Amino acid sequence: MSYDISKAWYEKRRLSDADFRKLSLFITSNYGIKLPPVKKVMVEGRLQKRLKVTGIETFDDYLEFVFSTAGKSELLEMIDAISTNKTDFFRESSHFDFMMNHLLPEFSKSGNRMNIWSAASSSGEEIYSLAIVMEEFNSSQRNKINYNILGTDISIDILKKAVNAVYAHERIKDLPIPLRNKYFLRSKDRNVNQVRVIPELRSKVHFKRVNLMDADYDVESDYDIIFCRNVLIYFDKETQESVINKLCRKLKVGGYFFLGHSESIIGKNVPLKQLEPTIYKRV
């Protein structure tokens, strides 16, 4: 009998297949994130931490709370827990090379103000990489490009990290030493192995929460560059096309659009023409 009671207790603390399907359908419908059955163990592990924080004992009770009016704030915490946020400084470096060698020299001939949007900015490495590129380009120019960079993400927690701009020193070890010394500050406490992006760079960027599944995006409509990299892989093809079209409505005709190297617009009805692999121009 004691075994049966223990087993029942244990099963209540597991995410059932039925609850996972309910959760997966909700997340996909509202946030576009695909959660196939192989993700069940990952989701269960991440949400068990939320059960501990909230003091809720079972997944049944937790999901009932999350989907209630009283659980709105916890719903955002749940999305933060499930969302995958992986990024690096100058990830997929060919994009930044293209900006420095082709895009910015061309732009500087005809304009002096540039708006850039990183539509899946995660913890900020991409957006600060963009700012470094802009600063490095401007340092060699008589006529500087006045730029503004917006970073958006679905996760509030990850956006807080981006705003704070504090990173483990390990995260910048592959950057050239001159860039490390120029754009990052070491902690005054040498026992704390962290760096922070310099204030001058942080002042050039701002962040806000945007859900790419929304019908429209509460951002400006005149971006010269949009980075939307390594997030569409979590959406189905129809959602990918919808998201790209909504993003393109915020991109100037002639503006540049960057996807991740595992993403493409093949088979999608979108107003983009390819310049190089994963680099496009708005038509």
pLDDT digits (tens, 9 = 90+) for 14-50: 788 888 888 888 888 887 777 888 888 888 888 888 8
- Whether 60 is catalytic is no
pLDDT for residue 112: 82
Q: Tens digits of per-residue pLDDT, 180-201? A: 999 999 988 878 889 999 999 9
Quote the domain boundaries for residue 40. Answer: 2-82
Q: What is the mean pLDDT of residues 59-72?
A: 87
Candidates 46, 91, 180, 202; catalytic one: 46
What percent of the chain has pLDDT above 90? Answer: 54
Distance CA 73, CA 5 (A): 34
Where a domain ends, among 82, 117, 141? Answer: 82
Query: How does DSSP classify residue 18?
Result: H
Answer yes or no: do 118 and 13 share one domain: no
Exactly one of 50, 153, 229, 282 is catalytic; name it.
Answer: 153
| Residue 117, domain CATH | 3.40.50.150
Domain count, the chain: 2
Question: Looking at residues 51-55, what average pLDDT do you find?
Answer: 89
Task: Give me the mean pLDDT over the 104-126 stretch.
Answer: 92
Cα–Cα distance measured from residue 153 to residue 123, given in angstroms and rounded to the nearest whole number: 9
Rounded to an integer, what distance in angstroms lies between the CA atom of residue 5 and that of residue 23?
Answer: 27
Q: For residue 227, give Cα distances in angstroms to 17, 64, 75, 120.
A: 36, 36, 27, 8
| CA distances to 1, 145, 157, 231 from 124, in Å | 53, 21, 12, 15
Q: Could you tell me the pLDDT band of residue 8, with boundaries at 50, 70 and 90?
A: low
C-alpha span between 146 and 112 (Å, rounded): 6
Looking at every residue in the chain, the average pLDDT score rounds to: 89
Q: Is residue 247 part of a domain?
A: yes
Give 79's Cβ-side CA count (13 Å radius).
Answer: 24
Has 153 been annotated as catalytic?
yes
